């Protein structure tokens, strides 16, 4: 499951204030599905997440960014990370820290530090094989393919740099035949005007690339609300920005977005993202 919780933080200055009942409804949604692995975005602390994810059943792995004073803000932060069922074997794996300031990482000018979200990473041992799972929350503000191609907005230039870094990472894993899953909030409508399972978002120089776009058949139906000038506005998002990719070691059993009901959205403060649930089967490759 990947789920952006929209500023999940117990902080008096947080723009998104939640009641105990709001947390209870979020927890009910989570427990209905009880995923083996939750990839979360926009969580300020483990204590906030524990109000939704049972502490006795899940171990939380929060981005190493939380420990890097040069990449965090005073006050509230948006961290990525994982909650993993305790029966699974988890190994630490380095985060993709270069996503925080991609212009610096790629040596582009002008250099500027941005303090963006890391790509959180862990290793899960399954069938005696290590699987790398990466959770990203990419730059917001560049939502359409046309904007990304034009590359005029600063947010689009940043997203393109992050895209380059992720493409490099993917190619490194493919060379090693390393099983991996990449999920999260890509902040981009990758499926917009796309009619097949190919995507421009990750274009590879490797003609043998077997990257799988897991969410290419998933259509969005996420109802959200926003308060502005003492008025409540509702919007239904039809295009996903929360996506999943993988190496060719995985096959899709099922993938679905879990939409909120109007009653849930109108009554409670949930999130401006709906969770996406992946059920995958894993086939290890035997080296010749």
Read off the pLDDT of residues 171-225 as tens digits, 9 standing for 90 and up.
Answer: 999 999 999 999 999 999 998 876 556 677 987 666 668 899 999 999 999 999 9
Q: What is the pTM of this model?
A: 0.94
Between 83 and 204, where is the model more confident?
83
Model confidence pLDDT, tens digit, residues 240-260: 999 999 999 999 999 999 999
How confident is the model at residue 288, as a pLDDT? Answer: 40
Burial class (CB in 10 A: 0-12, 13-18, 19+), 49: buried
Residue-averaged pLDDT of the chain: 93
Instruction: Compute the distance between CA of residue 254 and CA of residue 286 in angstroms, rounded to an integer.
Output: 25
pLDDT tens, position by position, 57-73: 999 999 999 999 989 89
**What are the φ/ψ torsions at residue 185 (nearest 5 degrees)?**
-95, 105
- For the chain, percent of residues with pLDDT exceeding 90: 84
Cβ-proximal residues to 273 (8 Å cutoff; 6+ apart), any chain: 3, 4, 5, 6, 41, 185, 222, 224, 241, 242
- As a whole number of angstroms, the distance between CA 99 and CA 137 comes to 9
Please give the pLDDT value at position 109. 78
Domain ranges of the chain: 2-282
Q: Rounded CA gap, 160 and 190, in Å?
A: 13
Q: State the architecture of 2-282 in CATH terms.
A: 4-Layer Sandwich (3.60)
The neighbouring-strand residues paired with 12 are none
User: For residue 107, what is the DSSP state?
Assistant: T
């Amino acid at each position: 499951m990947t789920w952006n919780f929209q500023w999940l933080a117990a902080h008096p200055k947080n723009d998104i204030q939640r009641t105990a009942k709001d947390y209870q409804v979020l927890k009910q949604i989570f427990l209905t599905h009880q995923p083996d692995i939750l990839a979360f975005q926009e969580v300020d602390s483990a204590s906030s997440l524990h109000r939704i994810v049972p502490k006795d059943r899940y171990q939380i792995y929060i981005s190493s960014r939380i420990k890097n004073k040069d990449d965090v803000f005073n006050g509230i932060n948006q961290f990525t990370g994982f909650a993993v069922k305790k029966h699974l074997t988890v190994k630490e794996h380095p985060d993709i820290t270069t996503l925080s300031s991609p212009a610096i990482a790629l040596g582009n000018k002008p250099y500027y530090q941005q303090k963006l979200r890391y790509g959180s990473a862990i290793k899960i041992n399954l069938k005696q094989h290590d699987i790398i799972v990466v959770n990203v929350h990419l730059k917001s503000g560049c939502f359409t393919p046309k904007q990304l191609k034009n590359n005029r907005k600063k947010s689009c230039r940043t997203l393109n740099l992050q895209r380059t870094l992720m493409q490099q990472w993917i190619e490194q894993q493919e060379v090693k035949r390393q099983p991996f899953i990449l999920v999260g909030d890509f902040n981009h409508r990758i499926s917009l005007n796309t009619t097949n399972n190919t995507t421009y978002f990750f274009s590879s120089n490797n003609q043998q690339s077997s990257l799988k776009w897991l969410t290419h058949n998933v259509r969005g139906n996420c109802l959200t609300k926003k308060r502005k000038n003492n008025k409540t506005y509702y919007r239904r998002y039809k295009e996903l920005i929360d996506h999943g990719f993988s190496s060719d070691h995985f096959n899709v059993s099922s993938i679905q977005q879990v939409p909120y009901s109007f009653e849930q959205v109108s009554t409670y403060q949930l999130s401006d993202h709906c969770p996406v649930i992946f059920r995958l089967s894993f086939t290890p490759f035997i080296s010749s």
